[in-house]
Amino acid sequence: MTMEEKNKENVFALLSGLKMAEINNNKVQKEFCAALIYKYQQEGINIYEHVKKEDIEESINEGVNLFVKRKRRYFIKKTLFNMFTGMAAALFTYGYLQVSLARSIVVFFFAFLIDSLIKLKVSKIVFVNEARKEYERYVDHKLVHIRESEDVSKLWK
């Protein structure tokens, strides 16, 4: 089977999965299928060969928006955690080391910045793993492994 035939088969399976997700009101599967269909579309693969553009475009956009919301929620959660790390460092320097308030604020900013920089690369991996776990739980098992052989970090950029 050539790569083009495999891509067509995968797109057809994802389009079917997207329609089933709408019928069953499965938002996680809708997000998964739409994100991968969008990825195929970015790679120049014709996704409208099996269905009309008008029939599926809205579903794809809704699913991609769900994926963007997931990424945004994760980013907010990560940023809040980094802020708590900075606050803990500032409270430690102010309370235990008895440094001035101004220096404690400087420690907060440095701790926040350092924590953010350290977790910059790791957070992408963590996001992918969290998303994969939820997808494996709520998405049809035949769809989950469609692009598994590819580099996961490229898949979710």
Element (H, E) at 52: none
In-domain check, residue 63? yes
In-domain check, residue 150? no
pLDDT tens digit sequence for 105-118: 999 999 999 999 98
In-domain check, residue 151? no
pTM: 0.77
For helices 27-42 and 101-138, angle between their N-to-C axes, nearest 10 degrees:
90
Residue 53, amino acid: K
- How many domains does the chain divide into? 1
In-domain check, residue 71? yes
Q: In this structure, what are the phi and psi dihedrals at residue 72, rounded to the nearest 5 degrees?
A: -65, -45
Residue 68, amino acid: V
Torsion sign across C-alpha atoms 102, 103, 105, 110: positive
Give me the chain's average pLDDT, please.
87
In-domain check, residue 154? no
Look up residue 15 and give its two tokens: 């389009």
In-domain check, residue 152? no
If phi > 0 it is left, if psi is from -120 to 50 it is alpha, else beta; for residue 98 that is left
In-domain check, residue 76? yes
Confidence at residue 152, expressed as pLDDT on a 0 to 100 scale: 47
User: Which is higher by pLDDT, 135 or 90?
Assistant: 90
SS3 track for 95-157: HCCCCCHHHHHHHHHHHHHHHHHHHHHHHHHHHHHHHHHHHHHHCCHHHHCCCCCCCHHHHCC
In-domain check, residue 140? yes
Its domain, for residue 81, covers 3-145
pLDDT tens digit sequence for 37-78: 998 999 888 888 878 888 899 999 999 999 999 999 999 999
